[in-house]
Structure 1
Amino acid sequence: MAEPAVAGDEFQRELLELFAAEAYEWLAQIQQALARFQASLDPSVRSDALDVIARGITSLGGSAATIDLPAIQELVFSLLPLLEQLRGADSMGASETLAKLRDSLANITELVASNTGIPATVTFEAQQPGLRHAKELLHALHTLRRTQMRTAPAPRSVIDSVIRLVQQDLERGYSQVDPPTLVAQVDEVCRDHDDFVRRVQSALPFLSAAVAALKSMSRQPASNRPVDRTTECLQTVDQLVDQARQRDAVPLLHFFQGLSSFIKIATERRLAISAQRFGAVETRLAALGATAQAWLEAEREERTAIVELLAA
C-alpha cells in the first residue's frame, strides 16, 4: 500500500522540478525586460518590455495555479496593477513602483525556491544604489551652472561638458546615469584641460619670440620678413584656437583669435602698428600663463561642485 504514495511523491517532485525550471526561465525573461525598461526612454521599447513582463507574470501565475501553489499565484497576479501604473509613467515617477515590483519579484523567487526545493537561478536585487535619473540630474546641473554664473560669471566649461555627457545619455535612450562613471568622465575632461594648459605654457616662449621678431620686422624693408617663422607661428596659434574652442576655454580662445588676427595684419603690413601696440600684445602674452592657470583653477572648482552635486 506504500508504493502508490511513493509514486505520488515522485510524481509531485517531478512536477515541482518542472515548475521551478519554467518559473526561473520566466523570471529571467522578466528580469531582462525590466532592465530594458529602466535603461530606455523610448516609449516603444518600454511598452514592449512591459508586455514581456506581463506575459511572464501571466504564465508564471497560471503554472502556480496548475500545481496548487496559491501563495505564489496570488503574489504573482498582484504584480499586474503595478505594470499598469508603469505604463505612461516618466522615469522619476516610476521609481517607487519599480522598487515595489522588484521587491515582489524577489519574494516570488524565494517562494519558488522554498516550495520546490530547487535553488533559484535568478535574483532580483534592488535598483543599483547611487544611480541618478538623467533628467533630474540635468536639471540640477543647469541650476548649479546658473548659481555659479551669478557668483562668478566666468565660462563654465566643465559643467557644460558634463551637461553634454548627460544629454548624450538621454539621446541614446538611457534614463539613468551612474555618478562614479560620470565623475570618472569629469576627471578625464579635467586631465585633458590640464594637458591643454601645459601645451599653452610650453608654446609661450616661442610665441613671445615670434611677436618680438614681428616687432623688429615692422621696422625693416618687406624683403627682410622672416616668412617661415611667421608661418610657423600662425600655424601654432591657429592650432591653439581650435584646441581652446574644443574645450570652451573662452578667455584663451579670445586671446588666440586676437593674436592670430594681429599676426596676419603685422605680416601683411596692411596697417601701421605702433610700438605701443606691440608692447600691449607682449604684455598680454607675458600674462597668458597666469590667465591659463586661473582658468584651470576655476575648472577645478567646478569639478568640486559637480562631485558634491553627484554625491548629494
Structure 2
Amino acid sequence: MSAELADESPKAVIPAFVQEAHEWLQQIHVALDELQQGPHPDRHVTLAHTIKSGIANMGEAAAAIGLSEIERASCSALPFVAAVENPNGRISTNDFVGLCKQLGHIYSALTRAARVACEAEAVSGHAEKLPVTIASGELLSILHRFRDQQARLGNYPRNLLAAVIAQVEGMKKNGGERCNITSLKEFLARWSDGEEAFLESVQKQLPAVAAEINRLKSEAGGGGQPSEQMQPIVEQVAQLSSAAQQVNAAQMLAFCTGLHSFLTLVMQGRVVVAVDKYTAVESRLIDNVKALQNWVEAGRMERSAISGILPA
C-alpha cells in the first residue's frame, strides 16, 4: 500500500485500497495471460514475480487495515503462484485454473469490502461518488466489437486490446459479474504514463551512453586500456535494461541487454573492438530510440482508443 494510504486511519483508506487493489488485479491478469502463452524462461520468471508481488502486496495492505477476508484469500493464492513460477517445472492447465479461481476469490472479497465501505459512508452522510461499473458480459461485447472492427482496419500493431479482453474474461470466469470502468480507465492511463516515463528516462540517459561509445570509438586501435569511467555507464545501461523489462519494451530490452554485455566485455579488456563496430553500435542506438518512440506512441493511441469506447 502506498505511503499516502498508510498515514490514514484504516476505515478511511478502504475505498482507496479497493481502487489500488483493482489495479493490482488488472496487472496480475495481464501477466497471467502472457504467462499462459509459454514465454521465454526469463520472461516467465519476471511474470510470475509480478503476480506473486501483486498478491503479496494486496495481502499485506489488507492486513494493515483489517480486511481479513482479503488477507486470507491473498495468502491462499500464493501456493498456487508457486505451482506456476518455475519455467522448468511441470505446469499443467489445472495449475493455471487453480490460480485463476483463487484470484476470483480475492476479487469477490474485494467487491464485498467495497460494498461495505460504500454502505458505511452512505450511512455517515459522507458517501463519495461510486465508480462507474458495467456487467462483464456487456463490456466483453463492446470490446469484441471493437476488436473485430480493428481487425479489418489494422490500426493498432501492438494489439493491447487482447490483453484487456483476456483480463475481463478472466474476471468474469472467476465470478466477477461487474467490472469497474473507472478503475480500468485509470489503469490504461497509468499504463501509458509508465511507458512514456520510460521513454523520457531513455532520452535523458542515452546521450551519456552515446558519448561514452563515441569516446571508445575515438580511442579504438590506440592500444590503451579501457577506463574505469566506463563503470557508471555500464550500470546505467543495466538500469535501463531493467526498466525496459518492467514496461515490457521487448526490443529496447534486447538492445540494452546486448549493449550491457558488450560494454562489460570492453571494460574488462576481454575484446578488441574496431572503429566500425562502435559505429554500428551508435547506429543501432539511434534506431532503437526511434523504435521505442514509435512503440510508446502506438501504445498510447491504442489505449486511448480503448478508453474511448468504454462507458463514461
TM-score, structure 2 as length reference: 0.48
Structure ID, larger Rg: 1
TM-score, structure 1 as length reference: 0.48
